[in-house]
């Protein structure tokens, strides 16, 4: 108990020159409480505080909707597979190119670093015999009107209808969504760095989703997506950024004839979500810490005084 006396900081406030064990214990309690409360205030000051609100028709983004995609097709050769897009305005693009690339995969999922040969029946037969797959990755843009993009064998239709039955049935659209998001990818990363991890930056909630064909069946997959415009406002810098989040419902059904297909149907919501990163004042942090310091010593000083008085009366 003698060592505890050395921590007593209450003696001067009571006009006592001698340090006591009781004062030392209360001082240790004060330091412990202050440490806990100071840490809580500091963590609150450092963590992001995000306010969320809903608005109507506040989408200030560009007229086109950027889509980022990376999908693995386990048994669909890059030679015959294509990604096409169609919207309600009648815009139809077959085998989207540009920044969207196809990477050949062997039957074990390893990349094949060879160029695609010319589209031909013999090449298609060889690739299906080798059980090749394909990775579609990159980005493209669509109009903000309702529409869809779909993965199919439409671009190679003339070749597909001439394939032997066994090779045709080897074309499967079992797949894994490695990544699917809307908005410019670089901007999404920047928003994430400012607003942190959480509901506000969940741009790709369905990454990792896997779907596999039923053996012997031709499957049509459908994903219905509701795309929600999102605004981000940082009070500290005054910067406003725009991007998109989405929700998705999937289904599948067997087809009696034809080839498999994967539909991604999208519609942009009229509701806009807005997230505001609240600025916290350093002055308010210092005021809070000062209040904690003064409040703890005042309360424990009163308790110490009362306990000292009670001990004196007892003695």
141 and 85, same domain (yes or no): yes
The pLDDT score that the predictor gives to residue 122 is 94
Q: Are residues 83 and 207 in the same domain?
A: yes
Which pLDDT band holds residue 97 (cuts at 50, 70, 90)? Answer: confident
| 108 and 198, same domain (yes or no) | yes
Q: Is residue 286 part of a domain?
A: yes
Domain-located, residue 136: yes
* C-alpha 159, offset from chain centre: 40
- Residues 228-263 have pLDDT tens digits of 999 999 988 889 999 999 999 999 998 887 789 999
| 83 and 29 part of one domain | no
Tell which wins on pLDDT, 202 or 197.
202
Within a domain: 54: no
d(CA 197, CA 192): 7
Task: Please determine, for residue 35, whether its predicted confidence score (pLDDT) is greater than 80.
Answer: no
Whether the predicted pLDDT of 169 surpasses 90: no
Q: For residue 102, is pLDDT > 50?
A: yes
Per-residue confidence (pLDDT) for residue 13, from 0 to 100: 46
241 in any annotated domain: no
232 within a domain of the structure (yes/no): no
Q: What's the structural domain count of the chain? A: 2
**Structural domain includes residue 235:** no
Instruction: Flag whether 87 is in a domain.
Output: yes
Q: Do residues 211 and 292 both lie within one domain?
A: no
pLDDT of 6? 46
Q: Are residues 139 and 254 in the same domain?
A: yes
**Counting beta carbons within 10 angstroms of the beta carbon of residue 293, is it exposed (0 to 12), middle (13 to 18) or buried (19 or more)?**
middle
**Average pLDDT score over the chain:** 83
100 and 174 co-located in one domain: yes
Q: Is the domain of 67 the same as that of 191? A: yes
| Model pLDDT, residue 58 | 61
**Span 62-89, mean pLDDT?**
93
Confidence of residue 124 (pLDDT cuts 50, 70, 90): very high
The 3-state DSSP class for residue 304 equals helix
User: What range defines the domain where residue 188 resides?
Assistant: 61-227+246-270
11 and 76 in a single domain? The answer is: no
Whose CA is closest to 182, among 203, 168, 163? 203
> Is residue 90 exposed (0-12), middle (13-18) or buried (19+ Cβ within 10 Å)?
exposed
Higher-confidence residue of 257 and 169: namely 169
- Window from 16-20, 86-90, 168-172 with minimum mean pLDDT: 16-20
Question: Is pLDDT larger for residue 264 or for residue 216?
Answer: 264
> In the prediction, which pLDDT does 315 show?
57
Find out whether 13 and 31 touch, Cβ atoms under 8 Å. no
Angle ∠(42,45,47) on CA atoms, nearest 5: 105
Q: Tokens for 149, please give them.
A: 């993009």
- Please indicate, yes or no, whether residues 133 and 261 belong to a single structural domain of this protein: yes
105 and 201: one domain? yes
Residues 83 and 12 in one domain: no
Distance CA 244, CA 118 (A): 38
List, as one string, the DSSP characters of 148-208: EEEEESGGGHHHHTTS-HHHHHT----EEEEEEEES-HHHHHHHHHHH-SSGGG---TTTT
Residue 165 lies in a domain: yes
Quick one: which of 18, 11, 29, 152 has its CA closest to 85?
A: 152
pLDDT given for residue 14 in this prediction: 45
């Amino acid at each position: 108990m003698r060592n505890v006396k050395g921590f007593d900081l209450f003696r001067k406030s009571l006009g006592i020159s001698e340090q006591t064990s009781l004062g030392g214990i209360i001082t240790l309690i004060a330091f412990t409480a202050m440490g806990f409360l100071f840490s809580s205030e500091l963590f609150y000051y450092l963590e992001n505080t995000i306010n969320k609100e809903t608005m109507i028709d506040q989408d200030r983004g560009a007229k086109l909707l950027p889509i980022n995609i990376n999908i693995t097709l386990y048994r669909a050769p890059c030679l015959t597979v294509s990604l096409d897009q169609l919207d309600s305005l009648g815009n139809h693009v077959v085998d989207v190119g540009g920044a969207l690339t196809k990477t050949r995969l062997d039957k074990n999922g390893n990349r094949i670093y060879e160029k695609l040969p010319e589209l031909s029946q013999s090449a298609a037969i060889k690739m299906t015999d080798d059980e090749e797959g394909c990775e579609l990755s990159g980005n493209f843009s669509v109009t903000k009107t309702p529409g869809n993009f779909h993965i199919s064998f439409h671009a190679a239709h003339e070749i597909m209808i001439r394939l032997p039955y066994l090779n045709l049935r080897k074309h499967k659209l079992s797949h894994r969504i490695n990544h699917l998001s809307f908005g410019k990818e670089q901007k999404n990363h920047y928003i994430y760095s400012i607003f942190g991890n959480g509901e506000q930056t969940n741009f790709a909630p369905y990454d990792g989703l896997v779907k596999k064909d039923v053996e012997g069946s031709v499957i049509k997959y459908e994903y219905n997506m509701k795309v929600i415009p999102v605004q981000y406002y940082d009070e500290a810098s005054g910067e406003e950024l725009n991007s998109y989040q989405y929700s998705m419902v999937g289904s599948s059904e067997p087809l009696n004839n034809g080839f498999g297909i994967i539909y991604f149907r999208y519609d942009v919501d009229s509701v806009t979500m807005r997230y505001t990163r609240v600025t916290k004042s350093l002055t308010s942090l210092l005021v809070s810490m000062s209040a904690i310091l003064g409040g703890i010593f005042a309360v424990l000083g009163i308790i110490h005084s009362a306990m000292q008085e009670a001990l004196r009366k007892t003695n």
